[in-house]
Amino acid sequence: MTAQAAGGGTGARAGGQAGWSVARIAAVLFPFGAGAMAVNVFFASLIGSWLGGPVLSALWSILIGAVIGVPATWAFARHIRRLMDEANARADAEQGRCPERQG
C-alpha cells in the first residue's frame, strides 16, 4: 500500500481531493480535541458540584475527555477537510481549471 493510498502525502487523491485525508487530520488534532474535552468535562463537574454532584478527578476527566474527544475531533477534521476542498475549488476556478467554467 502506498503512502497516498494510506491517506498520506499531499497530492491529489481519489474523488478530486488534494491534501490530507479526514483520518489523518483527525489523528493530528486528537490530542488537542481530547485535551479540550477533558477541560470541559472537569469544568462541567465543577458546575455540577453546585448541584450536589461529585467533582471529577483529573484522571477521570482525562479519560472521559479522550472518549468524548474522538467524535468531536472527527467532526472538526471533517469541517477542516471541507474548508480545504472549498479553498481548492475556488483556487481552481480562479485559475480557469474548473470544468464548469470551461466551454
Q: 94: how many CB neighbours lie within 10 A of its CB?
A: 10
The model carries a pTM of: 0.71
SS3 18: strand
Which residues, 6 or more positions from 82, have their beta carbon under 8 angstroms from its beta carbon?
Answer: none
CB 47 within 8 A of CB 57: no
| Boundaries of every domain in the chain | 20-101
Write out the chain's pLDDT in tens, 103 residues: 334 444 444 445 555 567 899 999 999 999 999 999 999 999 999 999 999 999 999 999 999 999 999 999 999 999 999 999 999 999 888 887 655 555 4
